[in-house]
Amino acid sequence: MRRTRARRASFLLSTMRGAADGRLLAWSPVTGRTSVLATGVAYANGVALSEDESWVAIVETNHARVLRHWLRGPRAGETEVLVDRLPGYPDGISRAPDGGFWVGLVMPLTPMLGLLAPYRWLRQILSHYAMLALPLLTKRWGAVVKLDGGGRPLKALYDLDGAHVATVSAVAERDGRLFLGNLGGNYVSIFDMRDE
């Protein structure tokens, strides 16, 4: 539970600061060296390789979107927006068996953060009270979004009051079932898509 609070505090402080200091790193097991592939990510928070491994999806939590960084081909080294305007703050991404992606949304978007954006001094003051303000800024809620292999949204699953699933931080699909990890508890939820 302590790690959960630390992650939430880190996210809120980063958001309040307006920081874009996240990076995508690559580590080579052959050389033992780490290299920087992309910078300027607003709270980098999850990666997943495309099916052909020509690019990697990067969750950018503070901007509620997923980026694509090209690893190979004519656009190698370039970063672009893969999907924008997600209905909540993404916290993890995994590749689905069909080559698409599942994105966990940890909390719904809140207009409060947008309203605070122009007031750096106020964001700085509030950053010291971010954890206390969290219940005022958001509600209990759970959601996941399915993207196809090119990043186009295919479906979204919601628990609007968070009664069964909330603060989704990880999604994994296996044999027609979704396994959902969360920041707000010490359990894994299972959603059977074969019942749809």
Cα separation, 79 vs 24, in Å, equals 10
pLDDT in tens, 4-32: 566 666 666 666 666 788 999 999 999 99
Query: Rounded to whole angstroms, how far apart are CA atoms 74 and 11?
Result: 34
pLDDT, tens digit, 9 for 90 and up, residues 140-169: 899 999 999 999 999 999 999 999 999 999
Q: What is the CATH number of the domain that holds 16?
A: 2.120.10.30
CA–CA distance, 189 with 67 (Å, rounded to integer): 27
- The total domain count for the chain is 1
Q: Please, what is the end-to-end C-alpha distance for the chain in angstroms?
A: 33
Question: What φ, ψ does residue 90 adopt, rounded to 5°?
Answer: -75, 145
Query: What is the value of pTM for the model shown?
Result: 0.86
Range of the domain at 184: 2-195
Q: Is 165 helix (H, G, I), strand (E, B) or coil?
A: coil
Beta bridge partners of 155: 146
